[in-house]
Amino acid sequence: MKVLPFMMLSLFATNAFALSVLSARYERSSDSIVAQVSYTGCGNHRLALEVQGCRETYPVSCDVFVRDLSAPPGSITCMAEIQEKVSFPLKDYDLNDSYYRGASLIFQSGVEVVLPR
């Protein structure tokens, strides 16, 4: 019985760090951020951008995270590694607002994307 909570904690820790942004760039033709991501799991995943905290520099610099909205942490039992290209339209995340012109978006993996002015 004591092993089960440890195993659940172990799964939670594994999934908490299972998503990584390998590269990213701004794509003018679609006005989107296009990222190559790697994550653990099986099946379709729904990914979203989350802006967390901006430094009031000019232009602004913000920390950006990619979140997996498909499944709650700890619920993924398949450990396949998946790499795919995903697109995040700026308008879907209000990143086309004038506040973000020329902004540096820094992902949790250290990858940086600079938006157009």
Tens of pLDDT along 16-73? 446 899 999 999 999 999 999 998 877 778 899 999 989 989 999 999 999 888 766 6
Single-letter code of the amino acid located at 45 = H
CATH architecture of the domain with range 3-114:
Sandwich (2.60)
* Predicted local confidence at residue 9, as pLDDT: 32
Task: Give the Cα separation of 28 and 85 in Å (integer).
Answer: 16
Domain boundary assignment for the chain: 3-114
- Judged against a pLDDT cut of 50, whether residue 90 lies above it is answered with yes
- Name the residue among 37, 48, 31 with its Cα closest to residue 90: 31
pLDDT tier at 12 (50, 70, 90 boundaries)?
very low
Instruction: Return the SS3 of 90.
Output: helix
pLDDT of residue 19: 85
pLDDT recorded at residue 29:
96
The model carries a pTM of: 0.77
